[in-house]
Amino acid sequence: MNSITLDAVSGTSTLIDAKGSECPIPILKLKTALKKAADNAVFGVMTTDTFAEPNVRDFCKSSGNEYLGVENFDGYDIHYVKKLTIECQRCSNMRTVTLGVAVAGVLGYTAPQVLHSTPSGAVIVLFAVALASLPPVLTNNLRLLKSVIKKANTPSQAETAQ
């Protein structure tokens, strides 16, 4: 991944200082900033936590934002994240739902074989992978369902104007 400097990315970028904090604090600070930001805003998250990179990458993947890269400095790193547009987040939401359906299908196919017969090695591997994928898939699908319910219960601008 190419090294990116904050100045080169955008004049509207924001630097978040999370140095000295361990995860999930840098992620929580980033999440708060992303909620308030316009689409395509770029953030630099300054961290000293050695596990920040995989955590920021995973957060971006699950939230539908783009991880642009990391720049290493003496004693801290800056992780660059771009807030993607609503359309991109919709694509991410669709992938989340599709993955949930796929995991449920694989478990539905492999679980009876694992429980009631002598399954092949491939079936055991499929079952193990689907089972390992279940917690994040459930978490992401529940998060998505919660946001859909929240949107459905929020009055529209037309209703508010009346």
pTM (two decimals): 0.51
Residue by residue, DSSP assigns 3-23 as ---HHHH-TT-EEEE-TTPPT
Q: Which residue has the higher pLDDT, 143 or 89?
A: 143
Q: Do 69 and 18 belong to one domain? A: yes
Q: Which of 33, 66, 82 marks a domain boundary?
A: 82
Residue 107: which pLDDT band, with cuts at 50, 70 and 90? Answer: very high
What backbone phi and psi angles, to 5 degrees, belong to 151?
A: -65, -40
**Cα(37)–Cα(4) distance, rounded to whole angstroms?**
20
| Total tally of structural domains belonging to the chain | 2
46 lies in some domain: yes
Q: Which of 48, 82, 116 marks a domain boundary?
A: 82
> What residues contact 23, with CB distance under 8 A and at least 6 apart?
49, 51, 52, 55
101 lies in some domain: yes
Residue 113 lies in domain: 86-152
Q: Which of 49, 82, 115 marks a domain boundary?
A: 82
117 lies in some domain: yes
pLDDT tens digits, residue range 24-40?
A: 999 999 999 998 888 88
Give me the residues paired with residue 72 across strands: 77
Q: Do 76 and 92 belong to one domain? A: no
Listed range (1-5, 62-66, 85-89, 111-115) with the worst mean pLDDT: 1-5
What backbone phi and psi angles, to 5 degrees, belong to 35?
A: -60, -35
Beta strands 42-47; 76-82: pairing state? antiparallel
162 lies in some domain: no
50 lies in some domain: yes
